[in-house]
Structure 1
Amino acid sequence: MPLPPLATLRAFEAAARHLSFKRAASELAVTPTAISHQVRLLEDTLGVRLFDRKPRQVTLTPAGQELYPTLRDGFAGFSAVIDRVRARKSQRGLTVSVLASFAAKWLLPRLAGFQAAHPDIHMRLHTSAEAVDLKSGMADAAVRYGRGPFPGMVVQTLFADRFAPVCSPMLNIRHPGDLRNHALLHLEWLRPDDVTPTWSRWCKLAGVDGVDLAAGLSFSDDTHAIQAAIAGQGVVLASSEMVQSELESGVLVQPFGPVIEGHYYHLIHTGKSSNLAEIEAFGAWLASEITNTQSA
Structure 2
Amino acid sequence: MVPPHSPRRLPPLNAVRAFEAAARHGNFTRAADELSVTQGAVSHQVRSLEEWFGFPLFERHKREVRLTQKGETYLAFVRAMLNELHSVTQMVRGKTTEESLCISVPESFAVNWLIGRLGSFAERHPELTIRLTSQNQIDDQGRVVGEEGPHWVDLRIRYGRAKWPGLRVLKLFDEQVFPVCSPGYAVGGLRELTDLGDHALIHDDMQMSWASWLRAVGADHISPPHGPAFSHSHMALQAAAAGLGIALGRSVLTHDYLASGALIRPFDAYVPAEHGYYLLCQERMANLPKIQAFKLWIAEQVKEFGPPAVA
TM-score range, shorter chain: 0.5 to 0.7
Q: Which residue of 1 aligns with 2:5?
A: none
Matched, 1:286 2:286: no
- The aligned runs of 1:9-48 (5 Å cut-off) are none
Structure 2 unaligned spans of 5+: 1-94, 144-150
Matched, 1:184 2:201: yes
Q: What SS does structure 2 have at the residue aligned with 1:174? A: coil
Q: Match for 2:283 among 271, 288, 291?
A: 271
Matched, 1:253 2:257: no
Matched, 1:152 2:172: no
Q: Which residue of 2 aligns with 1:17?
A: none
My pick for the range that moved more, 115-124 or 125-134, is 125-134
Structure 1 unaligned spans of 5+: 1-87, 190-195
Greater radius of gyration (CA) = 1
Cα shift at 1:116: 1.1
- The aligned runs of 1:196-215 (5 Å cut-off) are 197-212=208-223, 215=226
Whole-Å separation in 1 of the counterparts to 2:218 and 2:296: 41
Q: How big is each residue's C-alpha offset from its partner over 1:45-91, in whole Å with a ceiling of 9 and x where there is no partner?
A: xxxxxxxxxxxxxxxxxxxxxxxxxxxxxxxxxxxxxxxxxxx9932
Cα shift at 1:131: 5.9
In the alignment, residue 284 of structure 1 is paired with which amino acid? L
Whole-Å separation in 2 of the counterparts to 1:230 and 1:129: 27
Q: What SS does structure 2 have at the residue aligned with 1:151? A: coil
In the alignment, residue 247 of structure 1 is paired with which amino acid? L
- The aligned runs of 1:1-296 (5 Å cut-off) are 90-129=97-136, 133=140, 135-136=142-143, 138-171=152-185, 172=187, 173-189=190-206, 197-212=208-223, 215-262=226-273, 263-273=275-285, 276-292=288-304, 294=306
Q: How big is each residue's C-alpha offset from its partner over 1:104-147, in whole Å with a ceiling of 9 and x where there is no partner?
A: 11101111111111111111111234765464453111000001
Q: How big is each residue's C-alpha offset from its partner over 1:13-33, in whole Å with a ceiling of 9 and x where there is no partner?
A: xxxxxxxxxxxxxxxxxxxxx
Q: What SS does structure 1 have at the residue aligned with 2:253? A: coil
RMSD across aligned positions (CA) = 2.5
Q: Cα gap change, 1:260/1:134 in structure 2, threshold over 3 Å: closer, same or farther?
A: farther
Contact kept, 8 Å, 2:173 with 2:306, in 1: the verdict is no
Whole-Å separation in 2 of the counterparts to 1:130 and 1:163: 28
Q: Cα gap change, 1:133/1:155 in structure 2, threshold over 3 Å: closer, same or farther?
A: farther
Whole-Å separation in 1 of the counterparts to 2:140 and 2:101: 16
Whole-Å separation in 1 of the counterparts to 2:258 and 2:267: 13
Whole-Å separation in 1 of the counterparts to 2:247 and 2:289: 39
Identity of aligned residues (%): 35
Q: What SS does structure 1 have at the residue aligned with 2:117? A: helix
